């Protein structure tokens, strides 16, 4: 049984100007000790998917369909109390996008880091602090750093603390939403090394979310490509990077600037991602697709297994 | 990239320094503690030619934006000179205001009075780091683009100005124009907003555009679209760009030359591909080694981090070479007992030519050591 199984998940935002279908029929599984990368352009629903897994979708958003099975329990059916006591931090923890900028400036970072321990275990402050010191060493920082205030830390140090915090309760799954975006390349490389090490030592499962395919390549064994609320391609990293099937994946990879090798004109995908209140009919990528043909704007392509373990939702590969 | 012929020098920046004073507390003022400064830019020199794209890269806080702002005199200038070659229209206006040109037909923009500098704001434009914050949310696209025309008295009538606006929008490919002129910023995507900001910069037909890349995450595809636009503008209207970025791999696609900044100084400068493929300064080497690439084989290896510790504060700049406390090369040289290693803690290494057109400020190059130095 996989550690996590997501089936046909739908999460919509009910705004005054219409329903935003941010996650619209997403399915995938995550095995124990596996790293899954989720990539896609800004606004395609990556963070919304992550929040859904922890049942933390901000209003006016709501999970409206599908299931999220963790150890056979369906998170979507749980009460807030159950999610808090059984899932969050213990089973699944999350490194939130931009969390390092969310430390309260007037409270010592240590007191903020131990908060999940105080909330979710019966440790007292002293025990929690000692535990946090251990974890802080693990992410390569001196334990004294817990005594400091946020403004006394660099961006890279704060991001390490956010990672330490996500690991405190030794969860089975860690979701990392853009863990290195907006960090300098050197610090980014340090954080990626840290995540590789933790992953090897602790055997955790990781869901890595980012728009940066190069970062995904550094960590993920399997890769899911999202477009406009849907997974359009899913497979082993080698297959997705070396033999991308979906025209969207092909275009995304072509747009990545390379540091070495021949320098062609930088490619970009013409047009803009669709308005998720009113997505195009058929395949959502069809208005921007170079290989569009007759069925694409009429019917939605199913996700089919094109090669072993390599799935794609595109009419080029599906039988009608 | 088809690179057009470069023209004459349009900007010659020498020894730019921008130091921000740190506010002192009452006690410090009374006890006469010396004033402290954030040395944001601390001796930067470079030249830019017509149709050239010049990249400034480096870690956050190394002084890239401040260097760009100095050229528009948006920050107090502590020292240095910036000789600039104005366009014909602006040169005529400057003459009317009694500005003297040097024998090359250039003016030092740091020496002008505010009043004299005003017309130069046409020739030097900046596209700011944040496409969200830099457009007035209550202005339509047409108002955003019309404002600089009115300020600089370009176009007699509204319809004449609208023609300029349409041309600028076409240039940045926000077409059909009628589809975009009446929109507000919030009705545009991030990439479209960035293009409006670029349209506003080029509508005045400037000589130089300082483009500060957003650190906020632009998707690769949007970024590629904007970089491609720069290349087209360079060829079509002979613009020069200073392109500011964190990202060496995108720099390679648009830039003729790259300057790598560290803590307020340029430590390496050279042809774009050469700087990336054959870096001559240990800091550049560390930057290049840290950049991830979309290759799943990278999973199997740890990244080699060729740099120690963290960026020091620009208030307490280390003595000698400001990079030495983080330099793995210095550490190794010291261990091996290389005589030149002691120079690293003594004096700032000069930026010297180490290959054709390729400069570096590091004592590992003999040319950087004092004359006759043998150890
Ligand atoms: N609170 C909200 N109310 C209404 N719409 C929202 C809300 N939060 C997100 N959305 C919309 O839902 C869609 C998905 O947003 P989400 O933040 O999940 O995208 P993302 O893939 O994480 O993007 P990014 O890469 O920019 O972080 C977007 O179209 C966004 O505008
Ligand atoms: N107005 C100011 N007053 C005091 N210090 C300043 C001011 N503006 C910038 N600084 C400092 O000067 C240094 C250089 O800042 P600058 O914004 O030029 O860096 P940057 O290279 O553009 O960084 P980033 O990549 O993060 O945009 C930083 O240490 C910054 O904190
Ligand atoms: Mg997000
Ligand atoms: Mg900046």
For residue B216 the two structure tokens come to 């906020």
Q: For residue A83, tell me if it sits in a domain.
A: yes
Distance (Å, whole) CA A292 – CA A283: 9
CB-based contact (8 Å) between B225 and chain A?
yes
Q: How far apart are CA A64 and CA A93, in angstroms?
A: 22
- Taking alpha carbons only, the member of B280, B295, B278 closest to residue B359 is B280
Beta bridge mates, B210: B126, B242
Distance from C-alpha of B95 to C-alpha of B104, rounded to nearest angstrom: 15
| Structure tokens given for B365 | 């190059």
- pLDDT range class, residue B173, cuts 50, 70, 90: confident
Q: Which of A211, A218, A256 sits opposite B298 (nearest CB)?
A: A218
**SS3 letters for chain B?**
CCCCCCCCEEEEEEEEEEEEECCCCHHHHHCCCCCCEEEEEEEEEEEEECCCEEEEECCCCCCHHHHHHHHCCCCCCCEEEEEECCCHHHHHHHHHCCCCCCCCCCEECCCCCHHHHHHHHHCEEEECCCCCCCCCCCCCHHHHHHHHHHHCCCCCCHHHHHHHHHHHHHHCCCCCHHHHCCCCHHHCCHHHHHHHHHHHHHCCCCCEEEEECCCCCCCHHHHHHHHHHHHHHHHHHCCEEEEEECCHHHHHHHCCEEEEEECCEEEEEEEHHHHHHCCCCHHHHHHHHHCCCCCHHHHHCCCCCCCCCCCCCCCCCCCCCCCHHHCHHHHHHHHHCCHHHHHHHCCCCCCEEEECCEEECCCCCHHHCCCCCCC
For residue A153, tell me if it sits in a domain: no
The residue-averaged pLDDT of A162-177 equals 92
Cβ of residue B94 lying under 6 Å from some atom of ligand 2: no
- Are A186 and B227 in contact (CB < 8 Å)? no
Residue A185: its pLDDT value, please? 87
Q: Name every chain A residue with its beta carbon within 8 A of the beta carbon of B227.
A: 266
Burial of A293 (0-12, 13-18, 19+ CB in 10 A): exposed
pLDDT at A203 over 70: yes
With respect to residue A111, please indicate whether it lies within any of the assigned structural domains. no
- A146 inside domain: no
Please report whether residue A254 resides in a domain: yes
pLDDT tens digit string along B184-239? 988 887 778 888 998 999 998 899 999 987 645 567 777 787 788 888 888 888 89
Per-residue pLDDT tens digits for A222-268: 999 999 999 999 999 999 999 999 999 999 999 888 888 777 777 88
Least confident of B44-53, B145-154, B347-356: B145-154
User: Is residue B290 less than 8 Å (CB to CB) from chain A?
Assistant: yes
Ligand 1 neighbours by CB, cut-off 6 Å: A 13, 15, 20, 22, 42-48, 58, 60-61, 97, 211, 276
A12: CATH: 3.40.50.300
Ligand 1 atom having least distance to the Cα of A226? 21
In a domain, A15, yes or no: yes
Angstroms from A36 CA to nearest CA on chain B: 13
- Give the one of B218, B273, B286 whose C-beta lies nearest to A186's C-beta: B286
- Of B43-52, B128-137, B235-244, where does mean pLDDT reach its minimum? B128-137
> CA quadruple B21, B22, B23, B29: dihedral positive or negative?
negative
Q: How many domains does chain A have?
A: 1
Q: ∠ CA(B75), CA(B76), CA(B80), 5° rounding?
A: 110
- Return the higher-pLDDT residue of A282 and B34: A282
Residue B214 near residue A182 (C-beta atoms within 8 A):
no
Are A1 and A69 a contacting pair, CB within 8 Å? Answer: no
CB B9 within 8 A of CB B45: no
**Mean per-residue pLDDT for B21-36?**
75
The phi and psi torsions of B17 (rounded to 5 degrees) equal: -130, 130
Look at residue B84 in the predicted model and tell me its pLDDT.
98
Residue to probe by mutation, ligand 2, list B17, B40, B213, most atoms within 8 Å of CB: B40
Spatial contact of A248 and A289, defined as CB atoms under 8 Å apart: yes
Residue B356 CB-density burial (10 A; 0-12 exposed, 13-18 middle, 19+ buried): exposed
Instruction: Give the residue whose CA is nearest to atom 30 of ligand 1.
Output: A43
Q: Determine the pLDDT at residue B2.
A: 44
Residue B191: CB within 6 Å of ligand 2? no
What whole-number distance in Å separates Cα of residue B35 and Cα of residue B42? 17
The answer to whether position A178 is within a domain reads yes
- Ligand 2: atom nearest CA of B264 is 14
Closest residue by Cα to atom 10, ligand 2, is B40
Closest partner residue to A214 (CB to CB) among B286, B293, B310 is B293
Is A34 within the bounds of a domain? yes
CA–CA min distance B3, chain A (Å): 12
Q: Which ligand is nearest to the Cα of residue B245, counting in written order?
A: 2
For residue A258, give its domain range.
Answer: 4-91+171-318
d(CA B71, CA B207): 12
Q: B59 CB near a chain A CB, below 8 Å?
A: yes
């Amino acid at each position: 049984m996989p550690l996590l199984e997501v089936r046909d998940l739908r999460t919509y935002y009910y705004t005054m100007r219409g329903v935003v279908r941010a996650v619209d029929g997403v399915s995938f599984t995550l095995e124990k000790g596996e790293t899954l990368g989720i990539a896609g352009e800004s606004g395609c629903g990556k963070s919304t998917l992550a929040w859904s897994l922890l049942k933390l979708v901000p209003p006016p958003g709501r999970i409206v369909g599908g299931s999220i099975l963790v150890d056979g329990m369906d998170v979507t059916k749980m009460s807030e109390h159950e999610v808090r006591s059984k899932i969050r931090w213990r089973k699944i923890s999350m490194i939130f996008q931009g969390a390092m900028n969310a430390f309260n400036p007037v409270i010592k970072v240590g007191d903020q880091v131990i908060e999940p321990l105080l909330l979710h275990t019966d440790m007292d402050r002293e025990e929690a602090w000692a535990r946090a010191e251990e974890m802080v060493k693990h992410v390569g920082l001196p334990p004294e750093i817990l005594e400091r205030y946020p403004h006394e830390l660099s961006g890279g140090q704060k991001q390490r603390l956010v990672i330490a915090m996500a690991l405190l309760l030794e969860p089975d799954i860690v979701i990392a939403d853009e863990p290195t975006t907006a960090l300098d390349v050197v610090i980014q490389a340090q954080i990626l090394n840290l995540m590789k090490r933790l992953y090897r030592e602790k055997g955790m499962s990781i869901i890595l979310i980012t728009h940066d395919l190069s970062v995904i390549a550094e960590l993920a064994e399997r890769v899911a490509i999202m477009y406009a609320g849907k997974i359009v391609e899913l497979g082993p990293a080698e297959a997705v990077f070396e033999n991308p099937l979906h025209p969207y994946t092909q275009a995304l990879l072509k747009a990545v600037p390379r540091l070495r090798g021949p320098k062609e004109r930088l490619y970009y995908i013409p047009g803009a991602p669709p308005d998720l209140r009113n997505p195009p009919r058929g395949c959502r990528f069809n208005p921007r697709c170079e290989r569009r043909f007759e069925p694409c704007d009429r019917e939605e392509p199913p996700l089919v297994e094109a090669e072993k373990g390599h799935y794609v939702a595109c009419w080029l590969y599906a039988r009608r | 990239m088809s690179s057009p012929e470069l023209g004459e020098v349009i900007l010659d920046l020498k020894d730019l320094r921008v130091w921000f004073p740190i506010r002192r507390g009452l006690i410090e003022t009374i006890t006469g503690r010396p004033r402290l400064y954030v040395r944001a830019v601390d001796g930067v020199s470079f030249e830019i030619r017509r149709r050239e794209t010049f990249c400034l890269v480096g870690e956050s806080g190394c002084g890239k934006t401040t260097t760009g702002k100095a050229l528009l005199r948006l920050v107090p200038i502590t020292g240095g000179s910036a000789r600039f070659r104005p366009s014909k229209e602006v040169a005529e206006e400057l003459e009317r205001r009694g500005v003297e040109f040097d024998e090359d037909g250039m003016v030092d923009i740091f020496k002008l009075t505010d009043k004299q500098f005003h017309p130069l704001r046409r020739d030097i434009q900046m596209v700011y780091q944040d496409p969200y914050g830099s457009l007035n949310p209550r202005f339509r696209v047409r108002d955003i683009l019309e404002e600089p025309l009115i300020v600089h008295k370009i176009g007699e009538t509204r319809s004449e100005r609208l023609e300029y606006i349409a041309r600028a929008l076409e240039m940045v490919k926000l077409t059909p124009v009628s589809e975009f002129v009446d929109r507000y910023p919030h009705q545009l995507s991030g990439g479209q907003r960035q293009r409006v900001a670029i349209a506003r910069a080029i509508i005045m037909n400037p000589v130089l555009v300082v483009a500060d890349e957003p650190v906020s995450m632009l998707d690769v595809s949007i970024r590629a679209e904007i970089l491609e636009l720069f290349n087209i503008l360079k060829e079509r209207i002979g613009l020069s760009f200073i392109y500011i970025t964190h990202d060496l791999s995108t720099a390679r696609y648009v830039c003729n030359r790259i300057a790598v900044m560290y803590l307020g100084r340029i430590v390496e400068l050279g042809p774009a591909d050469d700087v990336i493929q054959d870096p001559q300064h240990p800091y550049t080497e560390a930057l290049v080694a840290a950049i991830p690439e979309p290759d799943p084989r990278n999973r199997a290896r740890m990244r080699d981090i060729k740099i120690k510790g963290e960026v020091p504060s620009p208030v307490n700049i280390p003595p000698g070479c400001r990079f030495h406390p983080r330099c793995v090369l210095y550490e190794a040289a010291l261990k091996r007992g290389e005589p030149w290693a002691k120079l690293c803690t003594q004096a700032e290494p000069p930026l010297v030519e180490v290959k054709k057109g390729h400069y570096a400020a590091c004592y590992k190059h003999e040319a950087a050591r004092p004359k006759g130095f043998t150890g």
